[in-house]
Amino acid sequence: MEQDLLAKISELTETGKVDNKINKGSDGVDELTKQALNEGVEPEKVLDALVLGMSIVGEKFAQGKAFVPNMLLAAKAMNAGMAHLKPFFSSGQVKRKGSLVIGTVFGDLHDIGKNLVAMMVEGSGWEVIDLGVDVKPEKFISAVEQHPGCVVGISALLTTTMNNMETVVKAVRGKYPETRFIIGGAPVNQDFADKIGADAYAPNPKGAVDKLNWIVSS
Ligand code: B1M
C-alpha cells in the first residue's frame, strides 16, 4: 500500500500532475504527498519518491525524450509535494544533500536553462539559492558568506559573457578559497571549465545533479 502510494507520487511527479484540479478530480502530487504524510509514511521516503519522478524526467530531457514544458510541469508537481515536506526540512528531520547558490553571470540575461537546472537540483534534494540573472561577483560572494559550504553554479549563454565566469570564480575564491564551482550553458564545455578553474561542467540539468553529487562525495 505504502509502496503503491510512493510509486504513484513518483509517476505523477514525472508526468507533472500537480493536483486534483488537473484532469478532473483524480488526485495529484499535492494531495497524495499530503495523504502519505498523514498516513505516517516517513518524510524521507516521500522525498525519495518525488526525487525519483524528477530524475526520470531529467534523464528523458537529457536524452531528448522530454522537453522544456515537461520539465516545468514536473518541477511544479515536485514543488507542490515539497510544500508539504517543508516543515520536516525546517525541523531538521529531513536533511538536504547540500546547498547550491546559482546565478546567470553578470552581463547575461538568459535564465531559462539556469531555471531548469535550479528546479532539477532542488528536486534532487538540494537547497537552491537562486540569485537570478546578471549576477555580479559581489552578490555571489555575499551568498557564499550566508551559505557556508555551498557549491556555486554559474550559467552563461553568450560568448561575450562566458569569460565573466572566470572573474566570478577568482573573486569568490579570493575571499573563500575552498569554494567549489559548477558551470554550464550553451557556449561552455569541459575544457573551458578546466581553463577557468571550475570544479565541474554539466551540459544539462541531469548532468548538473550528477556532478553536484560527485562534488560533495569527493
Ligand atoms: Co538570446 N542569444 N540574446 N535571448 N537567446 C542566444 C543565446 C543566441 C545563441 C541566439 C542566436 O544568435 N542564435 C545568441 C548568442 C550568440 C553567442 O553568444 N554566440 C543570443 C544573443 C546574441 C542575444 C542578445 C545579445 C541579442 C541582442 O540583444 N542583440 C541578447 C543578450 C541579452 C543579454 O543577455 N545581455 C539576447 C536576449 C535574449 C532574450 C532576452 C530575448 C531571450 C532570453 C529570455 C530568458 O532567458 N529569460 C533570449 C533567448 C530565449 C535565446 C535563445 C533563443 C534560447 C536560449 C534558451 O533559453 N535555450 C538562444 C538561441 C538558442 O539557444 N536557440 C539565444 C533553452 C535552454 C533550455 O537552453 O539555456 O542552453 P540553455 O540551457 C541548457 C544548457 O545550456 C544547460 O542546461 C540547460 C537545459 O538543458 N545549462 C546549464 C544552462 N545553464 C547551466 C548551468 C549549469 C549546468 C547546465 O550549472 C550551473
Residues 104 and 133 sit within 8 Å (Cβ to Cβ): yes
Ligand 1, atom 15, residue with closest C-alpha: 158
CA atoms within 13 A on the CB side of 16: 13
User: Is domain 2-91 in CATH 1.10.3720.10, yes or no?
Assistant: no
* CB 68 less than 6 A from any atom of ligand 1: yes
Cell 571550475, residue located: 198
Give 59 Cα–ligand 1 centroid separation in angstroms.
22
* CATH class (in words) of the domain with range 99-217: alpha beta
The pTM is what? 0.88
| 104-123 residue pLDDT tens | 999 999 998 999 899 889 88
Q: For ligand 1, is residue 159 a contact (CB within 6 Å)?
A: yes
- For CATH 3.40.50.280, the residue range(s) in the chain are 99-217
Q: Are 208 and 182 spatial neighbours (Cβ–Cβ below 8 Å)? A: yes
| CATH code 1.10.1240.10 region(s) in the chain | 2-91
**Minimum CA distance residue for ligand 1 atom 32:** 109
Longest alpha-carbon distance in the chain = 55
Residue 88's pLDDT is what? 82
Ligand 1 atom closest to Cα of 154? 91
Cβ(153) – ligand 1 distance below 6 Å: yes
Q: What is the pLDDT of residues 20-66, one digit of tens each?
A: 987 777 999 999 999 999 999 998 899 889 989 988 998 999 999 99
pLDDT at 44: 85
**Ligand 1: residue whose CA is nearest its atom 39:** 110
Pairing assessment for the beta strands 200-201 and 180-184 based on DSSP bridges: parallel
Average pLDDT estimate for 184-193: 98
